[in-house]
């Protein structure tokens, strides 16, 4: 492999390790991550496991802490180097786990334990270093005062700051990338996992991790009551983060994005840099005071802004609930003509009713063939009626079944059977549409109605055929507007044509992927007509 290809591969792997530009810190992107990836590739060649790297990082971090207990500059420089190496290892183990697919619960336990061990050692080292040193401007040694300051800085400041910063980053990724792109967990979920592991053998590490992690999650949740209410309301209204309208997610991200630099400042890099500087200048007490003052001020600001954001969006959701839709956009095929029954099933039931002697698998193959043929060739003209479309579709299916030898009757008998099936299906559609029409007439008295459909340019002919033309203010047809479902753009065009906000539009359709998801994406409300 030439050098340029190796560089391209390295860059690809590096980009894959980044979750989002919103949450990645500049120093990590341009320094820590590239070195960590280089280390990961190096260790991978020698078969070193991610857990081995994590254990190495623990020893390096503890050794760094020991070096910071001395006032000698050389020892402190060694401490800086050791802590940097420990941090590179922390970046390496995760990337190595992804490269080798060696993720384990033991690894997660060790990874969390590693960082805690580093800083426990560092704070203890600073206490020992300051113990006999005089408090600035006095001759009084720090002694117990240094221990108290370190305890406040480490336990009451550093720990909650880091955990909440991590929580806010995961929340941001949750709204940006969905559940799969985030590691946002809850106390309830973790507690359920712990309960499920009780009595299981060979689950020590898993039980240890989740037992500890559930309290970590509970601590985060207790400090964020506004977000908990907001998230609960979102789940009650939309069911999952993927179903939340994009407009609402963008509102949250717009408010959350300015807080991401604070979440980065309150984690490792800024602390490490401040620690390096103050230890090398022999004034580590400044680091501890920064933790208690400046870092806590940033923490308080970040927390208040985030809670305020969630409270304002909670109010927005409340207002959304009060807004009644002004427009209802309907799908046609599978919705108005079959009331939720997929056309594949509709046709198969017709085959059964008419005694067409093929298996469902054989029919399915013929159905897929016909659909692809209709999609790739101009077999339907803009002047064709629904009946004509049905005739073309059935002709394609019967041709396929005859060609395959699955329909074991002569051509003439097959065409008679096809005609009977066509009559049967068309009559069913007429009856169903008449039923749909009565509902549409009632809805038209209160709402503006529109139609969004993947059709062939003949929707106006079909609507005239079934006497529905006067019911729809706007008809958005894929062949006319140049975009098809499941693209959300076709719904965006329909909403624009109705000159109304998406949140005041209700979309009714039978397809979850082609109707519900794209409509949700632009902020419409949805009603899934889930049939057979």
Q: Is 414 exposed, middle or buried (0-12, 13-18, 19+ CB in 10 A)?
A: middle
Angle made by CA atoms 433, 339, 332, in degrees to the nearest 5? 70
Long-range contacts of 396-403 (CB under 8 A, 24+ apart): 396/366, 396/369, 396/370, 397/347, 397/363, 397/366, 397/367, 397/369, 397/370, 398/366, 400/365, 400/366, 400/369, 400/370, 401/358, 401/362, 401/363, 401/366
Per-residue confidence (pLDDT) for residue 62, from 0 to 100: 96
The yes-or-no verdict on residue 151 having pLDDT over 60 is yes
Angle made by CA atoms 85, 36, 21, in degrees to the nearest 5? 120
Share of the chain above pLDDT 90, in %: 59
Torsion of CA 260, 263, 264, 269, to 10 degrees: 180
Q: Which residues are registered as beta bridge partners of 527?
A: 508
Q: Residue 181 phi/psi, 5° resolution?
A: -95, 5
H or E stretch at 20: none
Sheet with 327-330: list strands edge to edge.
474-477, 448-453, 327-330, 505-509, 525-528
- Report the alpha-carbon distance of residue 347 to residue 421 in Å, rounded: 9
pTM over 0.95: no
List pLDDT tens digits, range 278-320.
999 999 999 999 999 999 999 999 999 999 999 999 888 776 6
The yes-or-no verdict on residue 138 having pLDDT over 80 is yes
The yes-or-no verdict on residue 383 having pLDDT over 90 is yes
Per-residue confidence (pLDDT) for residue 324, from 0 to 100: 66
The yes-or-no verdict on residue 525 having pLDDT over 70 is yes
SS3 284: helix
- DSSP assignment string, 101-116: T---HHHHHHHHHHHH
- Report the alpha-carbon distance of residue 286 to residue 63 in Å, rounded: 22
Q: Residue 112 phi/psi, 5° resolution?
A: -70, -40
Distances 13 to 8, 24, 30, 449 between C-alpha atoms, Å = 9, 15, 14, 49
Asked whether the beta carbons of 262 and 166 are under 8 A apart, the reply is no
SS3 342: coil
Per-residue confidence (pLDDT) for residue 531, from 0 to 100: 72
- Report the alpha-carbon distance of residue 311 to residue 318 in Å, rounded: 11
- Report the alpha-carbon distance of residue 421 to residue 353 in Å, rounded: 8
Per-residue confidence (pLDDT) for residue 100, from 0 to 100: 64
The yes-or-no verdict on residue 105 having pLDDT over 60 is no
Per-residue confidence (pLDDT) for residue 33, from 0 to 100: 81
Over the chain, what is the mean pLDDT? 89
Residue whose tokens read 């007509």: 529
- Report the alpha-carbon distance of residue 197 to residue 304 in Å, rounded: 37
- DSSP assignment string, 413-427: HHHHHHHHHHHHHHH
List pLDDT tens digits, range 182-233.
888 888 888 888 888 887 888 787 888 888 888 989 999 999 999 999 999 8
Per-residue confidence (pLDDT) for residue 240, from 0 to 100: 84
The mean pLDDT value for 229-256 works out to 88
- Report the alpha-carbon distance of residue 126 to residue 71 in Å, rounded: 10
The contacts of residue 349 (CB under 8 Å, 6+ apart) are none
Per-residue confidence (pLDDT) for residue 250, from 0 to 100: 93
- Report the alpha-carbon distance of residue 454 to residue 332 in Å, rounded: 8
List pLDDT tens digits, range 412-471.
999 999 999 999 999 999 999 999 999 999 999 989 999 999 988 999 999 999 999 899
- Report the alpha-carbon distance of residue 278 to residue 130 in Å, rounded: 12
Asked whether the beta carbons of 507 and 516 are under 8 A apart, the reply is yes
User: With the C-alpha atoms ordered 268, 269, 275, 276, is the resulting torsion angle positive or negative?
Assistant: positive
DSSP label of 329: E
Per-residue confidence (pLDDT) for residue 106, from 0 to 100: 59
Q: Is 424 exposed, middle or buried (0-12, 13-18, 19+ CB in 10 A)?
A: middle
List pLDDT tens digits, range 33-87.
888 888 888 887 877 888 888 889 999 999 999 999 999 999 999 999 999 999 8
Q: Which residues are registered as beta bridge partners of 505?
A: 327
Distances 26 to 13, 29, 31 between C-alpha atoms, Å = 18, 5, 8
The yes-or-no verdict on residue 104 having pLDDT over 60 is no
- Report the alpha-carbon distance of residue 190 to residue 217 in Å, rounded: 8
Per-residue confidence (pLDDT) for residue 90, from 0 to 100: 83
The yes-or-no verdict on residue 13 having pLDDT over 80 is no
The yes-or-no verdict on residue 244 having pLDDT over 80 is yes
Instruction: Show the domains of the chain with their CATH numbers.
Output: 3-322 (1.20.120.1760), 327-528 (3.40.50.1000)
Asked whether the beta carbons of 309 and 113 are under 8 A apart, the reply is no
- Report the alpha-carbon distance of residue 329 to residue 331 in Å, rounded: 7
H or E stretch at 343: helix 343-353
Q: Report the range of poorest mean pLDDT among 14-18, 239-243, 490-494.
A: 14-18
Per-residue confidence (pLDDT) for residue 77, from 0 to 100: 97
């Amino acid at each position: 492999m030439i050098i340029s290809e190796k560089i391209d591969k390295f860059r690809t792997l590096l980009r894959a390790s980044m979750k989002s530009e919103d949450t990645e810190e500049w120093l990590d992107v341009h320094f820590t991550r590239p070195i960590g990836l280089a280390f990961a590739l190096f260790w991978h060649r020698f078969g070193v496991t991610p857990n081995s790297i994590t254990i190495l990082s623990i020893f390096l971090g503890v050794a760094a802490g020991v070096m910071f207990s001395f006032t000698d500059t050389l020892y402190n420089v060694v401490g800086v180097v050791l802590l940097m190496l420990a941090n590179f290892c922390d970046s390496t183990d995760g990337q190595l786990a992804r490269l080798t697919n060696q993720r384990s619960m033991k690894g997660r336990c060790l990874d969390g334990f590693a960082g805690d061990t580093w800083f426990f050692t560092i704070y203890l080292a600073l206490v020992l270093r300051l113990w006999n040193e005089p408090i600035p401007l006095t001759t009084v040694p720090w002694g117990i005062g240094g221990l108290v300051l370190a305890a406040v800085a480490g336990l009451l400041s550093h720990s909650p700051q880091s955990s909440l910063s991590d929580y806010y980053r995961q929340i941001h990724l949750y709204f940006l990338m969905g559940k799969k792109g985030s590691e946002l967990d809850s106390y309830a979920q973790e507690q359920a996992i712990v309960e499920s592991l009780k009595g299981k053998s060979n689950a020590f590490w898993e039980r240890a991790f989740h037992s500890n992690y559930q309290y970590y999650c509970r601590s985060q949740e207790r400090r964020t009551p506004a977000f908990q209410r907001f998230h609960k309301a979102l789940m009650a209204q939309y069911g999952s983060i993927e179903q939340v309208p994009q407009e609402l997610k963008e509102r949250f991200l717009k408010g959350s994005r300015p807080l991401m630099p604070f979440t980065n400042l309150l984690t490792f890099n800024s602390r490490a840099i401040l620690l390096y500087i103050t230890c090398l200048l022999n004034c580590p007490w400044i680091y501890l005071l920064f933790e208690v003052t400046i870092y806590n001020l940033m923490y308080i600001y970040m927390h208040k802004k985030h809670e305020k954001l969630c409270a304002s969006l909670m109010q927005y959701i409340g207002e959304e609930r009060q807004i009644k839709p002004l427009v209802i956009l309907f799908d046609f095929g599978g919705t108005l003509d079959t009331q939720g029954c997929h056309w594949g099933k509709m046709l198969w039931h017709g085959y059964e009713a008419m005694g067409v002697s093929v298996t469902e698998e054989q029919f399915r193959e013929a159905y897929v063939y016909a659909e692809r043929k209709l999609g790739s060739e101009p077999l339907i003209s803009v002047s064709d009626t629904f009946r004509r479309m049905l005739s073309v579709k059935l002709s394609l299916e019967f041709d396929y079944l005859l060609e395959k030898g699955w329909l074991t009757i002569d051509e003439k008998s097959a065409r008679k059977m096809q005609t009977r099936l066509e009559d049967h299906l068309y009559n069913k559609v007429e009856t169903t549409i008449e039923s749909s029409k009565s509902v549409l007439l009632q809805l038209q008295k209160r709402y503006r109605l529109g139609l969004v459909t993947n059709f062939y340019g003949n929707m106006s002919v079909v609507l005239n055929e079934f006497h529905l033309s006067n019911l729809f203010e706007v008809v958005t047809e894929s062949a006319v507007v140049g975009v098809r479902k499941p693209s959300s753009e076709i719904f965006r065009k329909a909403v624009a044509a109705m000159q109304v906000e998406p949140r005041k539009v209700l979309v009714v359709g039978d397809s979850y992927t082609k109707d519900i998801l794209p409509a949700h994406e632009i902020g419409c409300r949805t009603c899934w007509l889930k049939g057979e």
